[in-house]
Amino acid sequence: MRLRDNLLFLKTEYDYIIIDTNPSLEFTLVNVLLFSDYVMFPMTAEKWSIESLDLLEFYMKKLRIKLPIFIFITRFKKNNTHKQLLKYAQSKKGFLGFIHER
């Protein structure tokens, strides 16, 4: 109840509210998803990122939470591994782009 009340108050004051959760499927994530308009999913070029995205999609479907998921790749390099991740991410609905590694 407190989360909902606080978010309702914040929505009157701000255009965007960003809530960064830890990458685990637990009660906190469920609560945040229930009060979200969409999900921003940053990915790195690691197998775990792809597995995490698939797991999040499965979890949301199981809980009947229908939110758009927007994906972007961080620390992107032009090597083969990153290009493969880019190809995978581009195949997903909601792909936004990538941010190059400095």
pLDDT of residue 39: 93
13-72 pLDDT tens trace = 888 888 888 777 788 888 888 888 899 999 988 878 888 999 999 999 999 999 999 999
Sign of CA dihedral 38, 97, 72, 95: positive
* pLDDT mean over 75-93: 88
Give which of 30, 55, 26 is closest to 43, Cα–Cα.
Answer: 55
99 pLDDT higher than 80: yes
Question: Alpha-carbon distance 78 to 83, whole Å?
Answer: 6
Superfamily name with CATH number, domain 2-100: P-loop containing nucleotide triphosphate hydrolases (3.40.50.300)
pLDDT of residue 48: 86
Residue 26: φ, ψ to 5°: -140, -175
For the chain, the farthest-separated pair of C-alpha atoms sits apart, in whole angstroms, at 47
Give this prediction's pTM.
0.80
